[in-house]
Amino acid sequence: MKLVYFSWIRERLDRTEEEVELPETVATLGDLIAWQKTRGEAFEAVFEHDRVVRVALDHAHVDDRSEPLEGVREAAFFPPMTGG
């Protein structure tokens, strides 16, 4: 799966995107976020308050952490945005 990072998330993880092989236990968006927390201190800090991080799966915004990942090719992580 391709993982893409934006804004302060990209800066803290020191990467724009990456291709990863997900463990078989990662089946939902919530599982993906929990797995991200295990990938080192920077990931743990970014995803500590995971509701602050917004996610798009294949370019569609998703709030439901029980959303299945089957067939998903890309997950993008970004902070909340404001307009004005």
| Cβ neighbours of residue 7 closer than 8 Å, sequence gap 6 or more | 78, 79
Is 49 contained in some domain? yes
Domain total of the chain: 1
Is 84 contained in some domain? no
Q: Which domain holds residue 72?
A: 2-78
Specify whether the CB–CB gap between 3 and 20 falls below 8 A.
yes
pLDDT in tens, the chain (84 residues): 999 999 999 999 999 999 999 999 999 999 999 999 999 999 999 999 988 999 999 999 999 999 999 999 999 999 987 555
pTM of this prediction? 0.93
Specify whether the CB–CB gap between 60 and 75 falls below 8 A.
no
Is 83 contained in some domain? no
Is 14 contained in some domain? yes
